[in-house]
Each structure stands twice: as C-alpha cells, then as structure tokens.
Amino acid sequence: MPASTTFPVSQVPTEFIKIVTAKNDEVKREPGLILSREDIINIKLYVKYGLALPTDSQEVVTYLGYSRSGVPGLEPEDIRPLFAGIRGNAQTWNDIESNVQQQSIDLDNFASKMTSMGGKILEYINKMDIYVQAVNTVGDTSLQDSGIEIPFQAEDRKVISSLGKLVEVLLKSIEVEEQKTRQLKEKIALFKTKISDELEPTVKRKWELITRANISAEVSQINSQIEILQGEIDQLKKDYDKYVGLAFTGAAGGIVGLAITGGIFGEKAEKARKSKNKKIKEKAELECRLANRQAIALSISSLNNHFEDLHIRLIDAEEGAGHLAFVWQSLYTNISNSLSSLKTIENGMDLLTFVIAFGEVINPWKEVKNSTAQLMKIFDEAIAEYKRLYHS
C-alpha cells in the first residue's frame, strides 16, 4: 500500500482486495492474491526444468553430453549434487502451489461466512426491542450528546451472550485462516531461501569456473576451427569432383581407352579422399569438444537464468502471503475488540454503538466476496495456459 495512503483498520480488507485485483490506480502489478498469472507460469517452468534433471551418475553424464569436462568442479559428479538439490527443491512446489490456490478458495469461503454470520448477528440485534428503542430514542440527536441510557433486561443479556458465542466462532475461524496463511508464507520463504542461499550461489560458482576456464573463448575458437575445416572439406569435395570420371573412355562396342591416373583410381583422387576423410574426422572431434563445452555452459546458464527470474517472483509471493496474514491479523483484532465490546454492553446505547462499529468491520467483506471469484479465475487460467503452452 502506498505510504501516503491512510485509512481505518476496518478498511484493510477492502484496500487489500483492491490491490490484489489491481483495482487500485496506483497498482501496476498483474492481479493475483499471492502470485500473478505470470508468476505461476514462470515458477512452474522452473519446476518442470528442475524435475527433469537427473540424479543418477550415468544419467547426468548423458544429460550433460560429456563424461569428462577437464575442468575441476564441472565434472558430471560435481554437477550431480547440484541437480539433486534443484530437483528436491522443485518437488516441494506442488504443495506450495496447492496452498496458494487454497488461499483464494478459503478467502472466498470466509468472506461468505463473514458476511452471512455477521449479517445475521446484526439482523438479530436490529430486531431486539432494546435496540429499536435506542434507535427511536436517539432520533436526530447525536449519539455522543444524547446522554440517554436504556438499561438491559435479563432476556437481553441472554441474547447478547448467545450472539457473543457466534462472534467467538468468527474469531476462531480468523485464527485458523491466519495460521494457514503464515504457514504458507513460511513454506514460500523456505523454497526461496533454498534457492537464494544454496542453489543459486552454487550455480554462480559453477559459472565462475566456466568463466575462469575461458570456455566461451574456447567455444569461439573451436567454432572458428570448424569453419576453417568445413571450408577445406568443401574445397576437397570440389577438387574431387574434377577427378571423378570414367576410367574407361570410348564406345562400348568400339575401341576403348583406359585412363587411370586422371580418374578416381589415380593419385590425386586418392590424396583428396584421404585428406577429406582426415579433415572430416578432425571436424567431428572438434564438434564433440564443442558440444562438450557448450553443454556445460548451456546447463549452468539455463539454471542461472531460472534463478534470476525467480528471485523477484518469490519475494513478491512471500510479501503477498505476508500482506494476507496482516489482513487476518487486523481482522482478528477488530473482531476481538467487537467481542470485548459485546461482553461489556450495559444498555441500549452501548448496543447501538456496537452495531455501528461491528457493521464497519463486516461491510468490507461484501466487496471481498465480490472479488474472490476473479482471484480464483486468475489462478485457474494461469494453470490452464501453462498446460496448453508447456505441459507435455
């Protein structure tokens, strides 16, 4: 929320829902309760990549495309623990994703419960004789200056006690929701910390090894050598074409000449063949080295790119869960205060004051309820888009 914006704590749910649905004009981020559509898709791409990484020694060799890099720290057995760590981290995401999705559902269910139960509490109070009497007595006089007290009867106290139990049910529900949100925040934080404190630094160290080994320069040099060899091979093929011809000349039914030295059986053709075969072999060896070096750089570079992309997304997710937890915390405070007020009501004017204050706590949840469907739809559409574009 912008630092310059201030509002009563009872309006926290309303302001929060405006932010996560991007209905606040100052919000530039894509809508989403904890994760935006783009966040969901990109994190799932990392998970897909991570789950595909091998952990078996031979499978790592096959995946990397080399059995020996010649660079300490970049051998397949050096890469294998990194792959295992990334794969293990990726395996924890499905649970987090389910919890994130459940938060939207829980928010929707709670908004229904809050507006329904809160509305019934207010509706019941509105029908109480002492409340009607208080409203009629106040009339046009301000509540603060009326100085009128309408004492409670024994029956009124029983009703208020029963309503207090309903408020306690709401309070317990809020407590449960806040706990679930905080647990989700902790899970996201662990997922993020595993990447930021362990996996990403390891990947960066591997990339430093690649840089120090000057693999990029070596790749460029090998490419140049391959291009030179390819040019020489192409020229040898052209030269060879000159030597290709029938050793036998003339008509099959007449006098026939035999030309060996100038044809495919001659010395020039044989030299061209041997030279071409040798250069093709050299080129194949260089291409193998190139694939080796490129495989190292590509694998580490891909991981580095994933982690750099995830950094901000996971910070946003953790903050998003924290914001939702604050909503529950502020609501818990409001409802707890309402319960305390309800228990200390002594007369009709106190009851009237309670209704006004409690209504301010309940009413914002009508707007929350009207927006939760959009939040659930954002999540569902993101999953559907991911499956359509990337799932196989």
Residue at 273 is within a domain: no
| Token pair in block for residue 286 | 């260089």
Residue scoring higher pLDDT (254 or 45): 45
Residue at 248 is within a domain: no
| Token pair in block for residue 228 | 């030179």
Please provide the DSSP assignment of 99-153 as one string.
HHHHHHHHHHHHHHHHHHHHHHHHHHHHTSHHHHHHHHHHTTS-HHHH----BPP
Residue at 267 is within a domain: no
Residue at 234 is within a domain: no
The structure tokens 């760590």 sit at 85
Lowest mean pLDDT among 155-164, 231-240, 378-387: 231-240
Count CB-CB contacts under 10 A for residue 36: 22
Residue count of the chain: 392
- Within 8 A by CB and 6+ apart from 378, the residues are 31, 32, 33, 36, 37
Using only C-alpha atoms, the chain has a radius of gyration, in whole angstroms, of 37
Q: Is the pLDDT of residue 177 over 80?
A: yes
Give the helix/strand (H/E) hosting 231.
helix 215-243
Give the helix/strand (H/E) hosting 190.
helix 154-194
Give the helix/strand (H/E) hosting 94.
helix 93-126
Tens of pLDDT, residue by residue over 118-146, are 999 999 999 999 999 888 887 645 554 55
Tens of pLDDT, residue by residue over 343-353, are 999 899 999 99
Indicate the pTM of the whole model.
0.81
Res. 17 pLDDT band, cuts 50 70 90: very high
Please state the rounded mean pLDDT for residues 168-177.
97
Residue at 249 is within a domain: no
Residue at 90 is within a domain: yes
Res. 92 pLDDT band, cuts 50 70 90: very high
Residue at 112 is within a domain: yes
Residue at 188 is within a domain: yes
Strands 256-258 and 248-250: antiparallel
Q: How far apart are CA 204 and CA 301, in angstroms?
A: 9
Tens of pLDDT, residue by residue over 230-273, are 898 888 888 777 765 544 444 445 544 444 455 555 677 778 77
Round to the nearest angstrom and report the end-to-end CA distance of the chain: 40
Q: At what angle do helices 154-194 and 93-126 cross, to 10 degrees?
A: 160
Q: How far apart are CA 310 and CA 281, in angstroms?
A: 43
Res. 294 pLDDT band, cuts 50 70 90: confident
Amino acid making up residue 42: N
Mean pLDDT, the chain, whole residue set: 87
Domain span at 370: 9-213+307-389
Please state the rounded mean pLDDT for residues 166-190.
97
* Number of compact structural domains in the chain: 1
Would the CA dihedral through 183, 185, 186, 190 be positive or negative?
positive
Q: Which of 3, 84, 91 is nearest to 46 (CA)?
A: 91
The structure tokens 């309408």 sit at 150
Please state the rounded mean pLDDT for residues 333-337.
95
